[in-house]
Chains A and B, each alone.
Chain A
């Protein structure tokens, strides 16, 4: 019905966070892939791409199924008072589960990327020292 709106809401928040973090990192002179690790601005960029991309493609699916329309109130569930409660329930269950899953997978991605970065940096240091 409107589950993708929960993910869109998270995307708005994480985009603001990314812009703020990037600004701070720029002031501190931290580059996107500096020697001390992958910057948080870059990592948050991965999350934002998944969240915004997923939101855009799911929005298309909702338009296809007639759940989103280009006129007010945009969500067909909002036109019938009986459909509002199920829509909110779907947003609270499926929408939240979607947002949590995407974020959890991104967190695993970040952990793996950091571990890979550290191991390659260590290998480079050993190579340079030998």
Chain B
């Protein structure tokens, strides 16, 4: 389930990045690449596990859904930290020098 949710996050953030492009002031390119990286890695993991062990390709239950939500929140958190650290609008700098 977390694979599907991360993949959805990657597709949505890529669409938003494209709409806002060429301006990438808010580092949406970074956010989408982060979700794409994780999606590719989980896809490989799921495919190999399916080929080796069989069974269900996707785990669909409450725990897997909660993990998917946590992964997206964590990805957004990492992006937000990077965004605030780079401070492209200079908001933090202005607030600190007030």
Contacts and interface: CB of A to CB of B under 8 A. Distances in A.
A13 interface: no
A60 B49 CA distance: 19
Prevailing SS type, chain B contact patch = helix
Contact of B75 (A51, A57, A98, A102): A57
B45 A49 contact: no
Main secondary structure of the interface of A (DSSP, over half): helix
Contacts of A98: 40-41, 44-45
B78 interface: yes
B30 interface: yes
Contact of A49 (B33, B40, B42, B74): B33
Contacts of A113: none
A65 to B, nearest CB: 8
Given A46-B33, A50-B33, A61-B2, A4 B41 contact: yes
B90 to A, nearest CB: 21
A56 B40 contact: no
A94 B48 contact: yes
B83 interface: no
Interface in A73-130: 93-94, 97-98, 101-102, 105
A105 B37 CA distance: 10
A7 interface: yes
B75 A53 contact: yes
B44 A97 contact: yes
B25 to A, nearest CB: 15
A70 to B, nearest CB: 16
A64 interface: yes
A12 to B, nearest CB: 15
Nearest to A49: B33
Contact of B41 (A49, A58, A64): A58
B70 interface: yes
Given A57-B38, A94-B48, A49 B70 contact: no
